[in-house]
Amino acid sequence: MNDFEQACIEIAEEINKNNPKTQHELNQLKLKVLNKYKANGLAQIPKNADIYFAASEKEREKFKELLSLKPVRTISGVSPIALMSEPYPCPHTMKGIGPCTYCPGGPDSAFGNVPQSYTGKEPSTRRSIRNNYDPYLIVFNRLEHYVAMGKVPDKAELIIQGGTFTFFPKAYQEYFVKYALKAMNDFSRLFFSNDAELDMAKFKNFFELPRLVLGEDERTQKVHKKLLHMKNIDLSDLEARKNADSLFFNSKFSNGHFDDGKVLNAPSKMGNNKQNQINLPEHGNKLSVIENQINDANILAIKNVQNKLKAEDNSSLALKQVQKENETALIRCVGLTIETKSDFGKLYHGNLMLELGCTRVELGIQSIYDDVLEATNRGNTVADNIESIRILKDLGFKINAHYMPGLPLTTKEMDLKGLKTLFENPDYKPDMLKLYPCMVMEGTKLYEDWKNGTFNPLTTKEAAEIIAEAKKYVPKWCRIMRVQRDIPTFATASGVDRTNLRQYVEKICADRGIKCRCIRCREAGFHSGANFNNIQTTITEYEASHGKELFIAAEDVKNDVLFGFCRMRFSSQFLRKEITQSSALIRELHVFSAAAQIGKKTEDSFQHRGIGKNLLLKAEEIARQNGKDKMVIISGIGAREYFRKFGYKLENVYMSKILDIFEHAQKPLENLR
């Protein structure tokens, strides 16, 4: 046993003996043990995950919450997995207009060859770079992290970042999603039994854990070799899975070969498709490519994506097949989010996203002022924003709007008016909101304006004050997802200089008596005193994007705590045959609190206690009362089985059900205990 392994075991023993409650107390125990090994000079300092895997099964269960670095990740009921698409130019750059004056990153940027609007320093970008922007590797890596934190991420939410995803070739979009889903399916098959029990020995074996001898880079390379061999193995085939188990878990893998000399090859039915010819991106609207305004880096980025598709995509691996398998996999994709711009968020793009299994769209609104959008080279108009929001809502998508206080030509008063307008003007009314105060970053046009004194960004104090005041206008049916970019301050030249802006905003709200009633601030998972016995149903109706919205909530009204909700819409236009004038559309059904494993109840979670069922029944009742005879649900791929329990069937991309208008509602939510 080497010093690293011994140190991990001793730290686990100290934790068991002293029962630390905080990360500070844990770190003190680590230092106590590590001081013994100071003379030997440990090559690596043990991470929490190393200690977790070195501990006994009983010890792991006892202090898994202590060693879980970010339990808040799953406190909203799902396990988010953010992954980046390849560096690729923006559509308005290809038109000779963009990129936006404030937008960092992109092909051959000041931050290197990174995705557009990112710096390469964000956690999700670093993870994607480390995994060569391969969706299969990225998802496996993130699932590994969750299990290492003692979580079973069976209700996972994919969040595809990296600029305007709908501008990529259709073939790339399908490639990216199907391999992300295949990673979930394969992870489920490899490490979990039929009764959903984790095989810890296989998990540790495959991921070379704990990191006893190998350095992190060497360990990553070995895991990558295994995954790249397995990427095109059809593990739904029992013989292929048996062979994979034999080779991966009973042999030593080295340099792509096993010790018996065998190489793990994909079955012929999933061999590489070398004939997949890809041309320039397919779009619903034509782009006039101005050759002399497009630099070589953008052309190279496009060719890189084309080459990746030729080398890695398999025509025999169908997206629909992988989606179908994920419906019943242990690790399920219950939600898929895609980032895009409003001029690439119209009906054509919406239909493509539906085919991918997308349920939420992050839409870059940025401003309600046309002159600001034009001055920043946004490449779309206010009219584009409004049209896109309406189309996407009428298709069933949830809308997560991005808004940027502090852009050029704006004042504090304009920003407050803009944020207020988002919730007072029915043309907007997003379901979620990300607030990104404008920051100055190297390599952008705005950086030059800042250097020559023609632009002054918001200070941290100014940004916090604007956001705090804006919270007065955020309704109970909207969730504030973020209040700043996930970019470390050392990567910015000027602007907000604190990474904990949300806490700064909360302090201002407390000092000024501002109570935020957004979804995030009222979620049951963030309230230790949430009382399940106080649940009652509330219904909020409002007009939005020419349609009618109903926010059906399960909440403790007295303590202002939200346990779950259902978003139902009566669409303003009928853009697909599945959605008719006599149908209602459920855009979201969500139950909050710590994530509970599918099919299991836990004392610390409100999931699987009937809240979702009763919200759904209430929505059906309201729909019938309004003369609707059909319910259509935009469902995450991994949530389809849940809706089948209530009589819903897959209709193209939606789950739907004919409603009996004479059927009486079941027992109401407020009677649940």
What pLDDT does residue 645 have? 96
- The pairing of strands 561-570 and 547-556 is antiparallel
pLDDT(286) > 70: no
How would you class 503 by CB atoms within 10 Å of its CB: exposed for 0-12, middle for 13-18, buried for 19 or more?
Answer: exposed
Residue 280: its pLDDT value, please? 40
Residue scoring higher pLDDT (445 or 14): 445
Please give the structure tokens belonging to residue 591. Answer: 């139950």
Neighbouring CB atoms inside 10 A of 656's CB total 21
Dump pLDDT digits (tens) for 312-355: 888 889 999 999 999 999 999 999 999 999 999 999 999 999 99
> Which pLDDT belongs to residue 606?
55
The Cβ-side half-sphere exposure at 566, using a 13 Å CA radius, reads: 29
d(CA 281, CA 169) in angstroms, rounded, equals 4
What is the rounded distance in angstroms from the CA atom of residue 559 to the CA atom of residue 527? 10
Q: What is the pLDDT of residue 266?
A: 42
The arithmetic mean of pLDDT across residues 531-550, rounded, is 94
User: In this model, does residue 576 exceed pLDDT 80?
Assistant: yes
Q: Which of 319-328, 471-480, 591-600 has the lowest mean pLDDT?
A: 591-600
Q: What domains, with CATH codes, occur in the chain?
A: 341-520 (3.20.20.70), 524-671 (3.40.630.30)
Let me know: does 379 contact 91? Beta carbons within 8 Å. yes
Query: What CA–CA distance (Å, rounded) separates 428 from 441?
Result: 29
What pLDDT score was predicted for residue 42?
Answer: 65
- Is the model more confident about 491 or about 45? 491
Beta strands in 101-211 (DSSP E): 105-109, 112-116, 155-161
Tens of pLDDT, residue by residue over 353-408, are 999 999 999 999 999 999 999 999 999 999 999 999 999 999 999 999 999 999 99
Banded model confidence at residue 276, pLDDT cuts 50, 70, 90? very low
Q: CB within 8 A of 671, min separation 6: which ones?
A: none
Q: Is the pLDDT of residue 89 over 60?
A: yes
Q: Which of 184-188, 215-219, 468-472 shows the lowest mean pLDDT across its residues?
A: 215-219
pLDDT tens digits for range 97-118:
989 999 999 999 999 999 999 9
0.95 cut: is pTM over it? no
44: pLDDT strictly greater than 70: no
Residue 285 has pLDDT above 50, yes or no: no
Q: Average model confidence (pLDDT) for the chain?
A: 87
Specify the pLDDT at position 291.
40
Mean pLDDT of the 132-148 span: 95
Binned at pLDDT 50, 70 and 90, residue 292 comes out as very low
pLDDT surpasses 90 at 582:
yes
β-partners of residue 565 are 553, 590
Cα→Cα distances 149→418, 549, 638, Å: 40, 38, 22
Question: Which SS3 state, helix, strand or coil, does residue 42 take?
Answer: coil
pLDDT beyond 60 at 272: no
Q: What is the dihedral of CA 443, 446, 452, 456, to 10 degrees?
A: -130
